[in-house]
Amino acid sequence: MDAARVAAGVRAIAEECTKPGAKFLDIAGTIESEVVKQGGKNAFPVNISINDTAAHYTPCIGDETVLGEKDIVKIDFGVHVEGCIIDQAFTVDFGGENGKLVEAADAALADALAVMKAGVSVKDVGAAIQNAITSRGFKPIENLGGHSLEPYILHAGEEIPNTAKGSYVLQEGDVFAVEPFATTGAGRVDEGTYCEIHSLVNPKTVRLPQSRRVLEYILEEYKTLPFAERWLADMLSTSSIEMVVNDLVRQGILHSYNVLKEINNGMVAQSEVTVIVEKDGVKNLC
Ligand code: CO
């Protein structure tokens, strides 16, 4: 799979540029342009989520945020080639105080992959994730989970929970992003107000010419895949982007991905790969 080859090359660059003092905008820019350089497209904006932020932080235009010396950072990126998506993530603990938390997320991923095969219920996969995390003294984040992937669809309907729940039975050929989240907090996330990522959910005719132009561009470039507001910077001024996005969100045309934070401000680690389900196991596509 072409996307897998691209993702593997990009992963090395992503690890290299994730270091204390690095600017979020530079990290996202480096990874996103590397995806294109290696022959893929970005399936969603690079998520750079630190500490108690679990997901959905991508830098905004003019973002001055830099990685701190003690941050625990999750880098989550997606590559697609003609709609076939590879979604993967890793966690780095700069301070060295959360090494065990990172290990718990990595172990949960390994244990999940070890039980996955055609005919296995996602409940049993969730149980393996939960057990790997709780046995190490942490909590799985119960309202986040892995997700099935289909061409051009990042969340295709089925879930790999972080706890023992769900009834879907894995089928041969299913493609899943498996992404355990472990935390030192309560084990739940809630939406924050920061929001830079959106996706098209309900295209319809719009009145404002500027909105119409942006909508056409999104349909053509991203289809239903998530995009960042800063990806529209070549078309519009920052204030126009805000106006158009608000207009499209208000009409129910765009869905917004607010940043997700652990409810007790616990530290969060994530480990993620994309796999295809086979008869006797899974094949790691990353
Ligand atoms: Co991901």
Residue 16, number of CB atoms within 10 A of its CB: 9
pTM as predicted: 0.96
Q: Which structural domains are found in the chain, ordered by start?
A: 2-190+260-284 (3.90.230.10), 191-259 (1.10.10.10)
The band of 23, judged by pLDDT with boundaries at 50, 70 and 90, is: very high
Q: How far is the CA of 272 from the centre of ligand 1 (A)?
A: 6
- Examine the residue annotation and report whether 82 is marked as an active-site residue of this protein: no
Does position 286 have pLDDT exceeding 90, yes or no? no
Question: Per-residue pLDDT tens for 47-98?
Answer: 999 999 999 999 999 999 999 999 999 999 999 999 999 999 999 999 999 9
| Mean pLDDT, residues 226-247 taken together | 95
Note residues around ion ligand 1 (Cβ under 5 angstroms): 76, 87, 89, 272
Percent with pLDDT over 70 in the chain: 100
Dump pLDDT digits (tens) for 165-202: 999 999 999 999 999 999 999 999 999 999 999 999 99
Q: How far apart are CA 2 and CA 53, in angstroms?
A: 31
The C-alpha atoms of residue 151 and residue 137 are separated, in whole angstroms, by 37
- Residue 85, pLDDT score: 96
Burial class (CB in 10 A: 0-12, 13-18, 19+), 1: middle
State the pLDDT at residue 201: 96
Reported as a pLDDT band with limits 50, 70 and 90, residue 1 is low
Residue 2 annotated in active site? no
Active-site entry in 34, 52, 71, 76? 76
Answer whether 260's CB lies under 8 Å from 144's CB: yes
Give distance in angstroms: CA of 274 to centre of ligand 1: 9
